[in-house]
Amino acid sequence: MYKHQLHQYISNLLLEQNLDVIGKDNNFYNRFLTNINSIEALFNELYEQHPQSPELFDQVLTHIINAYLERSCILKQKDMLKLEKLNWFLSNEITGMSLYVDRFCGTLQGLQGKINYLKNLGVNLLHLMPLFQSPEGESDGGYAVSNFREVDTRFGSLNDLKELTETLQKEDMYLMLDIVLNHTSHQHEWATKAKSGNKEYQDFFYMYPDRNIPDEFEKNMPEIFPEAAPGNFTWNEDCGKWVMTVFHNYQWDLNYTNPKVFAAMLENIFFYANLGVDILRIDAPAFIWKEKGTSCQNLPKAHTILKLIKQCVQTATPGMALLGEAIVAPNEIMKYFGTDAYIARECDFAYNATHMALQWDMLATGDTRIMLAAQHELLKKPFGTTWITYTRCHDDIGLGYDDWMIEKAGFNPYEHRKFLKEYYSGILTSSPAKGALFSVNPKTQDARISGSLASLCGLEKAIEQNNDWGIKEAIDKIVLMQAHSFFIGGVPMIFYGDEVGYTNDYSYLQDNSRFYDNRWMHRPVINWEKNKKIEIQDSIEQRIFEATRKLIALRKKLVQFSDYKNIVWISPHNIHVAGFIRTSIQKNLYCFFNFQNKTSFITWYAFKENGEKNSQLFDHWSEEKFIVGADNEYFTMAPYSFCIMEEC
């Protein structure tokens, strides 16, 4: 329906601000009018019944206008360039690295000195792990924020961050930061006021005088950190109330049924947008809406909030893409890209957490069938959206894909997951992997896996045993894992340290604020003497770094790796080999990955099964040419090897 009055209202608001709606601000004006119906409808879906709904809707509109007014000319120009490119983030030319500034290089200023190292590797997107104020010792790696606008002095200052963003802009690099949307630290100003009895701020959180409502909630809410933080509520002595704390007891869940919370957090989102953030990682979006009688995860209104954020951002600061960090079941992950009228209008990115875990599954079993079963779901990703693809990140590896996928491949889900947990945690002594179980739930026996890419691939054990052959195999596995995640579609996000093979760091066990959280074993402190070994021919560091560098360069060179929904899985001619085609109107790329520790054979028919007439192929990885044989002849793949073939 055309809403004349609403459009008139917006026009007047903009004119009051002296915006030039038919001149230089015309694009903004058009975006506003295009999105305002959705913004109003989504806001009403959440808050129509709230007594202060009209004034808070006005506040949201004001935040949108202010965000645009405060946006620098450079960022507005970048917005336009990105809009002209049509979904700039689908490009094959972006490769990211996720890093903790303090553990990587000390401070934000120090990071300026590492830009060359990153560029040399080929990285042009930096995900800086949370930088904003967070209490030492109660920080969850920065995900317990006590001030969304002040950089923690550990890293430097807001000014240092601004200088860094300028450098990144000059170097044509992108920036990704987090907004921790679901909760604040219990030391955030809102929480402190709530503790002191301020009713307005108590309404920012879920707070109850007795156990009645918390017990109701607990009936259906799973525990996220059952070992370190059992239960979902924490007693606060200061105000004599139970507070909802889904993650750690010092992380207080924000109450988004209160529109004031939404408006305040939207302002913070715009603050990040105007710092020059290119991709905003929305932390833990699955949890942002709670209702008794539900698991309080992935609820429809959590999606409404995200859609509303997306329409607001698209209006005022359209160059900032949104990444929903939803590490949930595959069919639930897909919904973060938007559904129905909002398909491709919610989050632009999601983590391909399912595929990440399935890569670890394939590596342990040498069998690709469960991974293939999952593709029915993963291929539903809408055009115009993309994945963050990865092998490791700062979090654990959860085996959250569906039981039916495991059953379809002929395995028993319970036994299968038990095997994987034992394989990667070192319980299975014959396994080359060295990791640990994370967040074991004593009631359900559920557990996830911690450990660095290198250690889980066997490098730590092989080095301990001085086993050159084991070291070679581990490096092959590391490169195979990275290659598969680089070429599957989406923006690859390397975890810092993995580019040179950092193994587990056990020093967290001696640290009082960290010993209870074994995710710290795979969050290394970079030793730049070790990283310098990338210059020493045949060192472990050099072999891994050069391979990673080559993978990035290949991806940048081959436009077929852009994410235009151009992946077709090849029939499983050999269950040990994952094979897909990245299609293009020019030449297809045939990507095969051997996940077993033995030689594998692929019929040459695999390169022709879609009617192609390939006679000679060039492998971009080994740089060798191959004559395509008859259908009853085979292409041979060494253990843990891969190829990227193109007709030549």
* Rounded Cα distance, 110 and 106, in Å: 6
Helix 4-16 with 26-47: angle, nearest 10 deg = 120
| Contact (Cβ atoms closer than 8 angstroms) between residue 403 and residue 413 | yes
Provide the 3-class DSSP secondary structure of residue 521: helix
Our CB check for ligand GLC shows the closer of 96 and 384 to be: 96
Active site residue 16: no
Q: Is 390 in the site for ligand GLC (CB under 6 A)?
A: no
In the list 128, 284, 567, 581, the residue contacting ligand GLC (rule: CB under 6 A) is 284
* Nearest partner of 414 among 435, 443, 445, judged by Cα: 445
Given candidates 40, 79, 102, 140, which one binds ligand GLC under the rule CB under 6 A? 140
Enumerate residues 6+ apart whose C-beta is below 8 A from 376.
none
Closer of 289 and 621 to ligand GLC (Cβ): 289
Tell me the per-residue interface mask from 304 to 343 with ligand GLC, x by CB under 6 A, - otherwise. Answer: ---------------------x------------------
Point out the catalytic residue in the list 79, 325, 541, 646: 325
Task: Identify which of residues 388 and 454 has a Cβ nearer to ligand GLC in the complex.
Answer: 388
DSSP calls for 61-99: HHHHHHHHHHS-HHHHHHHHHHHHHSSGGG-TT--EEEE
Helix, strand, coil percentages, rounded to 5, for the chain: 45, 15, 40
Minimum CB–partner distance for residue 390 and ligand GLC (Å): 12
Chain positions 237 to 276 lying near ligand GLC, rule: CB under 6 A, are 247
Q: Smaller CB distance to ligand GLC: residue 121 or 399?
A: 399
Q: Rounded to the nearest whole angstrom, what is the least distance from the CB of residue 394 to ligand GLC in the complex?
A: 6
The region of 140-148, 354-362, 447-455, 456-464 touching ligand GLC under the rule CB under 6 A is: 140-148
Whole-number Å distance between alpha carbons of 496 and 69: 36
Which residue from 464, 463, 531 is spatially nearest to 103, judged by alpha carbons?
Answer: 531
Calculate ∠ Cα 526-528-533, nearest 5°: 115
Q: CB under 6 A: which stretch of 50-58, 118-126, 136-144, 213-221 binds ligand GLC?
A: 136-144
Instruction: Compare residues 130 and 338 and give the one whose CB is closer to ligand GLC.
Output: 130
Which contacts of 151-159 are long-range, i.e. CB under 8 A and separated by 24 or more positions? Answer: 151/108, 154/102, 154/107, 155/101, 155/102, 155/107, 155/108, 155/131, 156/107, 156/108, 156/109, 157/108
Q: Are 329 and 285 in contact (CB under 8 A)?
A: no
**For the chain, how many residues are written?**
648
- List, in sequence order, the alpha helices (H) in 498-538: 528-531
- Find the catalytic residue in 102, 160, 178, 283: 283
Candidate segments 139-147, 416-424, 430-438, 587-595, binder of ligand GLC by CB under 6 A: 139-147
**Residue 399 vs 602, nearer CB to ligand GLC:** 399
CB of 220 to ligand GLC, least distance (A): 20
DSSP secondary structure of 276-319: T-SEEEEE-GGGS---TTS-SSS-HHHHHHHHHHHHHHHHH-TT
What is the per-residue binding string for ligand GLC in 176-195, x denoting contact by CB under 6 A?
----x---------------
553, 122 in Cβ contact below 8 A? Answer: yes
Of 137-145, 291-299, 429-437, 608-616, which segment contacts ligand GLC by CB under 6 A?
A: 137-145
Residue 141, classified by CB atoms within 10 Å of its CB into exposed (0-12), middle (13-18) or buried (19+), is: middle
Rule CB under 6 A: is residue 639 a binding residue for ligand GLC?
Answer: no
Q: How many residues lie near ligand GLC (CB under 6 A)?
A: 10
- Least separation in angstroms between CB 351 and ligand GLC: 9
Nearer to ligand GLC, 251 or 548 (CB): 251
CA terminus-to-terminus distance, the chain: 54
Q: Rule CB under 6 A: is residue 283 a binding residue for ligand GLC?
A: yes
Least distance (Å) between residue 520 CB and ligand GLC: 11
Q: Is the dihedral of CA 484, 487, 489, 493 positive or negative?
A: positive
Query: Is residue 40 a contact residue for ligand GLC (CB under 6 A)?
Result: no
395 lines the binding site for ligand GLC (CB under 6 A): yes
> 283 catalytic, yes or no?
yes
Give the one residue of 141, 413, 470, 639 binding ligand GLC; rule: CB under 6 A.
141
Helices and strands counted in the chain (H then E): 23, 25
Stretch that binds ligand GLC, among 11-19, 138-146, 313-321, 442-450 (CB under 6 A): 138-146
Give the residue carrying structure tokens 């009713």: 199
Residue of this chain nearest to ligand GLC (CB atom) = 143
Place of tokens 């049509």: 86
CA angle 523, 248, 443 (to 5 degrees): 95
User: In this complex, which beta carbon is closest to ligand GLC, that of residue 136 or of residue 623?
Assistant: 136
CB nearer to ligand GLC: give 325 or 377.
Answer: 325
29, 88, 89, 143: which one binds ligand GLC (CB under 6 A): 143
Q: Which residues are catalytic?
A: 283, 325
Binding site for ligand GLC (CB under 6 A): 140-141, 143, 180, 247, 283-284, 325, 394-395
